[in-house]
A = this chain, B = another copy of it.
Amino acid sequence: MDIMTGAGLVAGTIVIATLMLLGGSFGIFVSDHAVIIIFGGSISATMIRFPLGAILHGLPLGAKFAFTMSRLSARDLVDELARIAEIARKQGPVGLEKVETDEPFLAKGIRYVADGYDLEFIRDNLERDRDNFLMHLDEGSKIYRAIGDCAPAFGMIGTLIGMVQMFANMTDPSKLGPYMAVALLATFYGAAVANLVCLPIADKLHLKLVDEEINRTLIIDGVLMIRDSKSPTLVREMLLAYLPEKHRLEEEAETVPA
């Protein structure tokens, strides 16, 4: 669980709800107009903009990954892979069948090794899985960014529609207020959806894409070494050498020198 995404969304909702309550009731902020134009408009533009496959895979994958976290950091993965290499060396492929791991992608690789597939098959399959996954995560990030970019525009369109109706039907100037309030809600919804949800999620998915690429490449390398019956020490050392500086530093991260 990536608690920060959920916490941020909850905090943002509380902030906006507080402001609404401070000034009266929630009721005046409920607007079917605004919901229809922001979500309807963004969905329509996204349908035109992206192929169906990208939307069907990228959107839910993005939503899922914004809230989940790699259960294991790159450094933990190295330890996990060394542990499994130890088991593989002591008990052979049979021992691997009983190995349990939280990381589904790693579990898949271990299963391939336990089932005795050859090196080429395992590499091809895992690399295809990884590239496929990264492609959809990238599509997800781009779709959230596209929605974050067009939601405020649809908010403005909604407000314009509301204002045209208000001005066109205006007979009694004293009734202008409530109409105006409704019209402004579309702009408000669009700005909130973009700045509180879509754009931050698109940024987060972009960061996760980088991490997942490192982790999954690490897993593929490790699994292939286990398939080759490399010693646990060698597995650990070679994988650590592959790690980019940033991840090798993870342990020191608590003690920032200044």
The residue from B184, B194, B258 contacting A104, defined by CB atoms under 8 A apart: B258
**Which B residue sits closest to A37, measured CB to CB?**
B19
The residue from B16, B105, B133, B204 contacting A161, defined by CB atoms under 8 A apart: B16
Q: Does A64 contact B (CB under 8 A)?
A: yes
- Find out whether the CB atom of B33 lies under 8 angstroms from the CB atom of A12: no
Mask, A129-162, CB within 8 Å of B = 1, is 1011101100000000010001001101110111
- Find out whether the CB atom of A4 lies under 8 angstroms from the CB atom of B161: no
Identify which of A61, A188, A257 gathers the most chain B CB atoms within 10 Å of its CB: A257
- Find out whether the CB atom of A45 lies under 8 angstroms from the CB atom of B129: no
Q: Does A108 contact B (CB under 8 A)?
A: yes
The residue from B44, B169, B184, B192 contacting A12, defined by CB atoms under 8 A apart: B44
The residue from B133, B178, B256 contacting A257, defined by CB atoms under 8 A apart: B133
Q: How far is the CA of A50 from the CA of B206 in the complex (A)?
A: 11
- Find out whether the CB atom of A181 lies under 8 angstroms from the CB atom of B164: yes
- Find out whether the CB atom of A15 lies under 8 angstroms from the CB atom of B28: no
How many of A's residues come within 8 Å of B, CB to CB? 101
The residue from B166, B178, B188 contacting A157, defined by CB atoms under 8 A apart: B188
The residue from B22, B40, B192 contacting A11, defined by CB atoms under 8 A apart: B40
**Which B residue sits closest to A29, measured CB to CB?**
B164
Within 8 A of B (CB), among A1-54: 3-5, 7-9, 11-12, 14-16, 18-20, 22-24, 28-29, 32-33, 36-37, 40-41, 43-53
- Find out whether the CB atom of B53 lies under 8 angstroms from the CB atom of A253: yes
Q: Does A209 contact B (CB under 8 A)?
A: no
What are 6 A-to-B residue pairs whose CB atoms are below 8 Å? Answer: A15-B44, A41-B195, A48-B200, A50-B203, A50-B204, A61-B258
- Chain A residues at the B interface, C-beta cutoff of 8 Å: 3-5, 7-9, 11-12, 14-16, 18-20, 22-24, 28-29, 32-33, 36-37, 40-41, 43-53, 57, 61, 64-66, 104-105, 108, 128-129, 131-133, 135-136, 146, 150, 153-154, 156-158, 160-170, 173-174, 176-178, 180-181, 184-185, 187-188, 191-192, 194-197, 199-201, 203-204, 207, 245-246, 248-249, 252-253, 256-258
